[in-house]
Chains A and B, each alone.
Chain A
Amino acid sequence: MIIAEQKPLAEIAGFVKDCERVLVAGCGGCVTVCLSGGEKEAEILAGALRIKRRIEGRPLETVTYTAPRQCDPEFIEAMDCVVQGVDAVISLACGVGPQYLAERYPDLPVYPAQNTKFAGGSRAHGVWEEYCGLCGDCILHRTGGICPVIRCPKSIQNGPCGGSQKGKCEINRDLDCVWQLIYDRLKRLGRLDLLKEVAPLKDWSKSRDGGPRRVIREDVMI
């Protein structure tokens, strides 16, 4: 999922300092799961903004609405009735949500309430970690299911660098050297032969170099 972290309240309040009525839009997707932008968080943010503005003597009216997802036009359309009469929209979705909302409501300012961090998963309650670099050319089949693209600070593709010591990374001694993990796992699987294969150069053209990427599947078009 996409992991996001809410911006400081003062920053969000600054975005809407001239507004009198705003829509606080939560998202029922990834940010609900990572507990930063779902229904509950939208209510808390709206309440905190209202309190802050009342104390400042300029009351703010808020409307809250949490779409099942902000990254699908059909769910954005459902927000048409709740944006009536608002001066701005605050989106608690990842970076996709505010852009969809901005496209749908060209006359309304849309502000992000989140800093979108990475694609990852939870390691424990309250701990999320980056697991995928979204490089567009997955090599996990060669690396024992462990990604060196994002989990190695240098994204090294062909084995550990000289900074790998006792299984730890030179960038951060608390960080496992991902190539050590890959080696250990392939050894356990009896597939160290995979490391002897000469891998082709990684095709970075499938990554972010060519501007926004697009996936088209005619079989699911209606």
Chain B
Amino acid sequence: MKGFEPQIVAFCCLNCAYSAADLAGSMRRQYAPNVRIVEIPCTGAIDQGVLLQAFEEGADGVFVAGCLEGDCRYQQGNIRAKKRLKALQKILDETGLGGERLEMFNLSAAMGVRFAEIADEMTSRIRSLGPSPLKRKWKGSAPE
């Protein structure tokens, strides 16, 4: 996968992960530049169809980052998101894309360092998995 730079979309809850990403920036904490952040009101609001759309439109990996379990502003949003992501991972496995390209993380708004770690961790995982098979087949080219 020489030269492959993963494109990762991160759906971040504005009450925690989004602020954590902000904090990571304020702390001048470096992390992989492959992550594009999308702010969402709560991970419980995430729609499985939107996550699929992210993959269809070119994401090599997607992660959803919500509050620590027990700390959701809306009580259960992150717990529900976890279950929905698990179901979607199964669908991704069935499509051949691979459920491991989708992950859920939990962190608080104060965990800027952890956000940077998550971004690096996910980038490293996707880099080792290679480009999304959608890109490979769609462009009709061999893996980079």
Residues of A whose CB lies within 8 Å of any CB of B are 8-10, 40, 43-44, 47-48, 50-52, 54-57, 59
Contacts and interface: CB of A to CB of B under 8 A. Distances in A.
Contact of A10 (B53, B92, B94, B134): B94
A48 B95 contact: yes
A198 to B, nearest CB: 51
Contact of B134 (A43, A44, A55): A55
Interface stretch (B16-24, B44-52, B67-75, B120-128): B44-52
B53 A55 contact: no
A52 B137 contact: no
A52 B56 contact: no
Contacts, number: 47
A52 B95 contact: yes
Contacts of A47: 49, 52-53, 56
A44 B48 CA distance: 7
Contact of B137 (A9, A44, A56): A56
Given A9-B91, A44-B91, A55 B49 contact: no
A168 B137 CA distance: 56
B47 A51 contact: no
- Describe A's contact surface by its main secondary structure: helix
Interface string B120-143: 000000000000011001100000
Nearest to B49: A43
A43 B56 CA distance: 13
Nearest to B138: A54
Interface string B76-120: 000000000000000110111100000000000000000000000
A54 B137 CA distance: 7
B89 to A, nearest CB: 12
B95 A9 contact: yes
Given A8-B94, A10-B94, A48-B91, A54 B134 contact: yes
19 contacts: A10-B94, A40-B47, A44-B48, A44-B49, A44-B52, A44-B91, A47-B56, A48-B94, A48-B95, A51-B55, A51-B92, A51-B95, A52-B96, A54-B56, A54-B134, A55-B95, A55-B97, A55-B133, A56-B96
A3 B56 CA distance: 30
A55 B48 CA distance: 19
Nearest to B53: A47
B52 A51 contact: yes
Residue among B47, B95, B97, B133 with max Cβ neighbours from chain A (10 Å): B95
A50 B56 CA distance: 8
Given A40-B49, A44-B91, 13 more contacts: A40-B48, A44-B48, A48-B94, A50-B56, A51-B92, A51-B96, A51-B97, A51-B134, A52-B95, A52-B96, A55-B96, A55-B133, A56-B96
B138 A48 contact: no
A43 B52 CA distance: 10
